[in-house]
């Protein structure tokens, strides 16, 4: 028996439908439990006159190594407790999902230590001079380590990109007023609908014109139109795509998502787009949540440095509304519609499936619900405060610590993107799929700019608490 036969047995017992067991078998739900757990704990401390800010420690601004050393020496206990907390909650969640704790623990130790270093680099008072924004540093460092240095494969156990970003998004909900979601959400959904449909149509049409199989064209189309890898896999299942189609879509999504992490923020900066507008453009034209957050947070850092108008929050809020609320929720609908088309209009495959409207719910990215609930909890709990009291009392004791923990989750994610992206192992996409997907990218970027920076510019520019 070959090594891989032994190592990758697959499921030998007949798999049961996940159904409501997804409450503990899917990482979306674990992101909700962890994220909401932190939010509720934060509120309970706050309601009792205390705060979780002790454990939400982050590196302070520094200008000399002596200052940095003094900070770590004085806060070592806080970092240790925070590390143990992250390790404990992630270990429990990943063990429930079926991962091995003995592989996760050493991997997460490595991830946390490197994340501390990246966070500290971002707090250097000269960091902005050299464009050392933590998301970009994390990504580049991760790519260098995985592609040029090389890391043992077992370390991948702790590099759970999607899990960290989902926990971060749920925590983000606590810092985003629910009233803002209600106010800006419909525009985000409308803009996302236009972009999703047009991008899918372009990739699919170009793909067919180039002679691609329509199942591959549909998989590529949804990958570009909705939320990258997750959407491509959902579409592949819905249309009965060939086994090799998904890796092609994965390769193209990763390639363009990583390119866009660097291109979109600097392009938006060149156009002097306000933070909210830039965030909305990134949300419209990035291809994956994790990659998009890296770009949006980097653009928010530009705003924090005064390079563009607006605030860092506006960039991340606009991105979240566009990408998470606007585009991600399309996944189930695309999968359902494509399943109907594949089984009724296209030739029936040997492995036909029955379209089921319930798929819209089962494929719904549930962490979005956690994001909404977190927002609702904090908004309701703090609705009695005036804006001045909110800024003076609620923000430092409740919102800011949650935001700091969110930043940690995002850095874990951004670093993990780089550490798990090994270019030489990605499937060779081929010229035709590349051309079809790239046509969609081009249209998506231009259309996203027009909608964000021209049609709805005033809307995205005015996002505020």
Partner 1 sequence: MAREDRGECRHCRHFRNDPAYLEAVLNGFTGLGSAYASTRADDGICLRHDRFVGPSGGCADFAGSAERGGGEPARVRDQPLVAVPGTEELHADRCAVDREERQRERGRAQDR
Residue 139 binds to partner 1 (criterion: CB under 8 A): no
In the bound state with partner 1, the residue whose beta carbon lies nearer, of 249 and 303, is: 249
372: which 2 tokens? 């909404």
Pick the stretch among 20-28, 60-68, 182-190, 449-457 that binds partner 1 (CB under 8 A).
Answer: 20-28
Contact 226, 327 (CB under 8 A): yes
User: Does residue 224 belong to the site contacting partner 1 (CB under 8 A)?
Assistant: no
Go through 122-158 and write b for each residue having 16 or more CB atoms within 10 A of its CB, e for each that does not: bbbeebbeeebbbbbbbbebbbebbbeeebeeebbbb
Residues 6 or more apart in contact with residue 412 via CB below 8 angstroms: 111, 112, 115, 164
DSSP H or E segment with residue 307: none
Minimum gap (Å) between residue 47 Cβ and partner 1:
32
Rounded Cα–Cα distance for residues 142 and 140 (Å)? 5
First-last CA distance in the chain: 61
Integer CA distances (angstroms), 266 to 240, 269, 323, in order: 39, 5, 19
101 near partner 1, rule: CB under 8 A = no
- Is residue 326 near partner 1 by the rule CB under 8 A? no
Check: CB of residue 394 under 8 Å from CB of residue 31. no
Residue 142 Cβ vs partner 1, minimum distance, rounded to whole Å: 10
Q: How many residues bind partner 1 (CB under 8 A)?
A: 88
Q: Which stretch binds partner 1 (CB under 8 A): 104-112, 236-244, 266-274, 394-402?
A: 236-244
Candidate list 48, 126, 344, 351; residue touching partner 1; CB under 8 A: 351
Any contact of residue 28 with partner 1 (CB under 8 A)?
yes
240 lies in the binding site for partner 1 (CB under 8 A): yes
When binding is defined by CB under 8 A, the residue of 133, 162, 301, 404 that contacts partner 1 is 162
Among 12, 149, 270, 387, binds partner 1 (CB under 8 A): 12
Question: Which among 104-112, 264-272, 359-367, 448-456 is the span making contact with partner 1, rule CB under 8 A?
Answer: 359-367
Tell me if 163 contacts partner 1 by CB under 8 A.
yes
Instruction: Report the chain's C-alpha Rg in angstroms.
Output: 22
- 431: contact with partner 1 by CB under 8 A: no
Is 152 a binding residue for partner 1 by CB under 8 A? The answer is: no
245 near partner 1 (CB under 8 A): yes
Q: Mapping DSSP to helix (H, G, I), strand (E, B) and coil, where does residue 62 land? A: strand
| Cα–Cα distance for residue pair 214/271, rounded to 1 Å | 38
Q: Which of residues 275-304 bind partner 1 (CB under 8 A)?
A: 287-288, 290-291
């Amino acid at each position: 028996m070959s090594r891989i036969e032994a190592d990758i047995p697959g499921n030998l017992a007949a798999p049961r439908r996940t159904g409501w067991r997804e409450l503990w078998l899917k990482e979306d739900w674990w992101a909700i439990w962890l994220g909401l757990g932190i939010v509720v704990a934060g509120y309970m401390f706050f309601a009792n006159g205390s705060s979780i800010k002790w454990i939400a420690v982050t590196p302070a601004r520094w200008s000399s190594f002596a200052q940095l050393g003094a900070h770590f020496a004085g806060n070592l206990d806080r970092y240790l407790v925070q590390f143990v907390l992250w390790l404990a909650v992630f270990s429990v969640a990943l063990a429930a999902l079926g991962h091995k704790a003995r592989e996760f623990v050493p991997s997460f130790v490595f991830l946390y230590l490197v994340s501390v270093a990246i966070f500290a680099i971002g707090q250097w008072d000269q960091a902005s001079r050299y464009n050392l924004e933590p998301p970009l540093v994390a990504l580049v460092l991760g790519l260098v380590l995985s592609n040029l240095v090389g890391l043992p494969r077992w370390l991948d156990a702790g590099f759970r990109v999607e899990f960290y970003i989902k926990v971060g998004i749920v925590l983000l909900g606590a810092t985003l007023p629910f009233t803002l979601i209600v106010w800006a959400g419909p525009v985000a959904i409308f803009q996302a609908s236009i972009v999703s449909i047009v991008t899918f149509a372009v990739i699919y049409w170009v793909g067919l014109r180039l002679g691609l199989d329509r199942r591959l064209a549909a998989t590529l189309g949804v990958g570009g139109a909705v939320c990258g890898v997750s959407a491509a896999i959902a579409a592949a299942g819905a249309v009965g795509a060939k086994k090799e189609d998904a890796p092609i879509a994965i390769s193209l999504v990763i390639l363009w998502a990583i390119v866009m992490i660097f291109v979109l923020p600097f392009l938006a900066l060149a156009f002097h787009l306000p933070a909210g507008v830039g965030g909305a453009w990134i949300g419209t034209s990035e291809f994956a949540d994790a990659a998009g957050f890296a770009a949006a947070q980097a653009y928010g850092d530009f705003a924090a440095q005064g390079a563009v108008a607006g605030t860092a929050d506006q960039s991340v809020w606009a991105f979240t509304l566009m990408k998470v609320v606007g585009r991600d929720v399309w996944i189930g609908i695309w999968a359902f519609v494509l399943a109907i088309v594949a089984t009724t209009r296209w030739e029936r495959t040997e492995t036909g499936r029955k379209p089921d409207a319930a798929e819209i719910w089962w494929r719904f990215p549930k962490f979005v619900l956690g994001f909404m609930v977190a927002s609702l909890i904090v908004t309701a709990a703090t609705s009695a405060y005036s804006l001045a009291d909110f800024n003076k009392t609620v923000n430092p004791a409740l919102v800011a610590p949650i935001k700091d923990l969110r930043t940690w989750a995002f850095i874990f994610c951004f670093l993990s993107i780089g550490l798990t992206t090994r270019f030489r192992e990605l499937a060779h996409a081929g010229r035709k799929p590349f051309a079809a997907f790239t046509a969609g990218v081009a249209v998506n970027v231009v259309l996203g700019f027009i909608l964000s920076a021209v049609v709805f510019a005033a809307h995205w520019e005015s996002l505020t608490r």
